[in-house]
Structure 1
Amino acid sequence: MSKNIVLDIENVSKQYRLGEVGTGTLQHDIKRWWASIQGKEDPYLKIGETNDRTAKGDSDYVWALKDINFQVEQGQAVGIIGRNGAGKSTLLKLLSRVTKPTTGTMKYKGRIASLLEVGTGFHPEMTGRENIYLNGAILGMTRKEITRKFDEIVDFAGVERYIDTPVKRYSSGMYVRLAFAVAAHLESEILIVDEVLAVGDADFQKKCLGKMGDVTKNEGRTILFVSHNMAAIQNLCDYGILLENGNIRISDRISNVISLYSSMNVLSEKIIPNDHKNVYLKNLNIFSNNQLGAVCGAEVRFEVNIFSKEILNDIVIGIGIDDHVGTRILTPFSLQFDKKYTLNSGENIISCIIPEFPLKLGAYNLEVYIGTSEKPLDYYDKGFIMKVETFDTNYVKIIPEESQGSIILKQNWI
């Protein structure tokens, strides 16, 4: 590896046999052994299907990862994204040496600290204090080195009162706070973090992201971060890897990777009604200037078509509008204006009008809430996409591509 490369992954693949623990049956292991004695290729590497969970396969073998190649430089923050089942967690387990690849080579420089799931690397019967020293020892640190970091770890985790309590008595939130503090503060060259941070509260997640930023920018350490939170990935990482069905779809600047991932998640612009419910969203239409579609700066009308199997009173409607990384931009909500509706049996159309629609050109994810002020009756979040493809020239003259944020406000500077 070159001087700045700390992680070099070459042709790495991981195969599993469905329904089996380990490599499979004794018969299969004997065949593998006999092939190796004869200097032949493993016969089970020739079979198997890609890891597409949406399709039913014919083989008992599946490639969770197939021919993965990438390099990571020192001090780089790499975001690994993809749909559920794409192979993200398998890749992190390989990188963390929890399991071995079926084929390929993985070369490292330095020590690796991993936070893959709640309790990773902790012994439940040992106290928080003992587990800090245990994790440091596993990383090859001396007791003196760990002691130097101890107070900083406990302070960051906020578990000082319980540091001498066995961690099996910790809540999941306490577990994660201490586990992250240990992984981030003990002196490993590579830090691997899975979606586990989602267990913590919002303030702690923000604190963790800030610490990971410090780790890369100020300490020159390398981070591999898996998350479904695109805003967090975009803020922390400068480089990204998109996995799809066990393969690398793209590895590039994080903005390009997120853009492609967002386009893959455009499921449909047609509502798929959940008609087994008593009340459900049947359709959603968006109009500007009496034509379908949203126009920046024009009056936009959202028509929410609701089907009800009975008469219901005091119904409120909410529309959530998110940008391509999942950040909430607008939430028109009838309850904010003390507006409640009566649903008749059958179809009902309720409209929300925004006089000067402020969202700039782009694609937005929409979610719809139908319910009372206390509970939802239907919540639609199945990938309805609203595209803003044009703008009212009287509202804005120029919409620069590089402009920050999603909202454009009409302005008059004097």
Structure 2
Amino acid sequence: MSVISVENLSKHYIIDHKKGKGGNSLRDAITHTVKGLFGGKGTDDEVTHEEFWALRDVSFSVEQGDRVGIVGHNGAGKSTLLKILSKIVEPTTGQVRIRGRVASLLEVGTGFHPELTGRENIYLNGSLLGMKREEIKASFDEIVAFAGVERFLDTPVKRYSSGMYVRLGFAISAHLNPEIMIVDEVLAVGDADFQKKSLGKMRDNSASGRTILFVSHNLTAVQALCNKTLYFEKGQLIEQGETNQVVASYLSKVARTRLRREWATPEEAPGNDLVRIRRMELVPEYPQGATHIDVRTPMRIQFEFWNMMDRANLNLSLHVYSLTGECIFNIGSQSQAYGKGLIQGECVIPGYFLNDGTYTISMMIVKDTVTPLFNMEEGITFDVEDYREGVAWYGKWPGYVRPQFPFRVEALESLKEV
């Protein structure tokens, strides 16, 4: 039975852009307003209007007990969809039919009154969900224990940290028996233990017939929880279906990759009168069944360049950068003597070395180990996706590298009872 039915759903906004001498600063706005109050002329700004479709012609249905992930880049329309389903905003066109009581956790502090205590907000949220006081009281102790806010139960929630806000908000939504639970990215605020408990609780809720809609950029968490997934891009529903299939399709379509650069002749190739680049390529060795680069994937960096000098001692220096511009590492080849001609080489990045993220590779050709001849900046761009086995934590793994070094831990002796 479908508990959520969405037909031809669209949400349209008008964005105003102001052009002219008046500018867009707060000072300009105040000056313009004051002049208008005293009869002066305001600025001669030209206002243009831009149409923006946050959602366009979206249709899908969700069955009772489904755990549905919603994936896509920022601005894809995911949060707008959840706000419409939660009846926070109205759609421009289309219909939404929902059968059952909905509990939404869309951002930190959703549904909380900041001046009320944690205890009072539990009863307030339960009342908003249409529950009787006796029903809320029956789940009260379990909510407090799950959220871990016993010591601060009678403290106004405006003094709570963001983590406490999320833990209490999720505990209320998960324990007050909603038929449909809508959860946005907010679980990322919690620690590892909270994430594990939350995903387990959502699985338990689904097993008892409740329906989950879960938005997250963490695809590992989506794959761990959801049996179905919707993939959005620029306000449109691109694909829907079984989670692993949709996630694989999403990764293949959105990966920011430029794995091969090649030039046919020295005349058109980047470089100078001394050296010119013929080819740079990243060749992934995908694990069985994989279709995209993840943290397990070994990669070969292959390069070719033309040397225009009769004899020169040359070496290559490869720099790997993060998306924000930090150099993750630099590795160089041995300096060797080469004559005129085409030179090729290869460097291997092993699997389980780079963490998930976006990276670029630059290649520098160096003479006599000290004189850079040419630097091919951002020659290759590639994404590394997350992959985890045997780990129940779904937060962002820290660091730029993620090696698997030998790691031995053992017990030396047992404590004796006194």
Shift of 1:191: 0.1
Instruction: Find the counterpart in structure 1 of residue 238 from structure 2.
Output: 249
1:330-386 alpha-carbon deviations (Å, 9 max, x no partner):
xxx99xxxxx9899xxxxx995575xx799xxxx9775699xxxxxxxx99963479
Contact 1:284 1:302 in 2 (8 A): no
TM-score calculated relative to the size of structure 1: 0.60
| Residue in structure 2 matched with residue 6 of structure 1 by the alignment | 3
Amino acid at match of 1:161: R
Please point out which of 165, 180, 187 is paired with 1:175.
165
Report the Cα distance in structure 1 between the residues aligned to 2:178 and 2:286, rounded to whole angstroms.
51
Matches within 5 A, 1:320-339: none
Correspondence 1:211 to 2:201: yes
Report what 2:253 is aligned to. Answer: 264
Q: How many residues align?
A: 285
SS of residue in 2 equivalent to 1:84: coil
In structure 1, which of residues 13, 18, 21 is the aligned counterpart of residue 15 of structure 2?
A: 18
Contact conserved, 2:359 with 2:381, CA < 8 A, in 1? Answer: no
Code of the aligned partner of 2:69: G
Asked whether 1:129 is paired with 2:128, we answer no
Local SS of the residue matching 1:147: helix
CA distance in 2, matches of 1:381, 1:196: 34
> Which residue in the other structure is 2:92 paired with?
102
**Deviation digits for residues 270-306 of structure 1, max 9, x if unmatched?**
499xxxxxxxxxx9865xxxxx664879xx775599x
Matched residues in 2 for 1:161 and 1:380: separation?
55
- How far off its partner does 1:250 sit? 1.0
Q: Using a 3 Å threshold, how does the CA distance of structure 1 residues 135 and 301 change in structure 2: closer, same or farther?
A: closer
The 10-residue stretch of structure 1 (123-132 or 11-20) with the greater mean CA deviation from structure 2: 11-20
Shift of 1:265: 1.9
Aligned-residue offset at 1:269: 2.8
Correspondence 1:65-76 to 2 at 5 A: 65-76=55-66
2:359 and 2:382 in contact (8 A); partners too: no
Partner residue of 2:227 out of 238, 256, 266: 238
**Could you say which residue in structure 2 is the equivalent of 1:277?**
none
| Offset at residue 59 of structure 1 (A) | 5.5
Question: How far apart are the structure 2 equivalents of 1:80 and 1:184?
Answer: 19
Deviation digits for residues 145-199 of structure 1 (CA, Å, limit 9, x no counterpart) = 0000000000000110001100000000010000000111111100000011111
With over 3 angstroms needed to count, the CA separation of the structure-2 counterparts of 1:236 and 1:295, relative to structure 1, is closer
Equivalent pair of 2:5/2:97 in contact (CA under 8 Å): yes
CA contact (8 A) 1:8 1:108 kept: yes
In structure 1, C-alpha distance between the alignment counterparts of 2:157 and 2:380, rounded to whole Å? 37
Q: Which runs of 5+ in 1 are unaligned?
A: 21-57, 273-282, 287-291, 306-316, 321-332, 335-339, 344-348, 371-378, 387-406, 408-414
Distance 1:168 1:81 in 2: 31
- In 2, are the aligned partners of 1:242 and 1:257 still within 8 Å (CA)? yes
CA distance in 2 between counterparts of 1:384 and 1:239 reads 24
1:205 deviates by 1.1
Q: Share of identical aligned residues, percent? A: 50
Note closer, same or farther for the CA distance 1:156–1:10 as it changes in structure 2 (3 Å cut).
Answer: same
Over alpha carbons, which structure has the higher Rg?
2
Taking the TM superposition and a 5 Å limit, the aligned residue runs for 1:62-211 are: 62-211=52-201
- C-alpha distance in structure 2 between counterparts of 1:117 and 1:11, whole Å: 26
Contact map agreement 1:303 1:352 (CA 8 A) in 2:
yes
SS, match of residue 258 in structure 1: helix
Structure 2: gaps (5+ residues): 18-47, 262-278, 289-297, 304-318, 323-327, 334-344, 362-377, 386-403, 405-418
1:226 equivalenced with 2:215 (yes/no):
yes
C-alpha separation in 2, matches of 1:161 and 1:16: 44
Deviation at 1:254, TM superposition (A): 1.1
Is the CA contact (8 Å cut-off) linking 1:319 and 1:366 kept in structure 2? no
In structure 1, C-alpha distance between the alignment counterparts of 2:181 and 2:60, rounded to whole Å: 17
How has the CA–CA distance of structure 1 residues 208 and 104 changed in structure 2, closer, same or farther, with 3 Å as cutoff?
A: same
In 2, Cα distance between the equivalents of 1:257 and 1:151? 39
Q: Is the 8 A contact 1:270 1:384 kept in 2?
A: no
CA distance in 1, matches of 2:299, 2:11: 50
Paired residues of 2:182 and 2:212 also in contact (CA < 8 A): yes
How much does 1:69 deviate?
0.8
Quote the RMSD (CA, aligned, Å): 3.9
Partner of 1:49: none
Q: CA deviation at 1:12?
A: 1.1
Once residues 119 and 235 of structure 1 are traced to their aligned partners in structure 2, the CA distance between those partners, rounded to angstroms, is: 26
Please state whether the residue corresponding to 1:173 is helix, strand or coil: helix
Change (3 A) 1:196 1:16: same
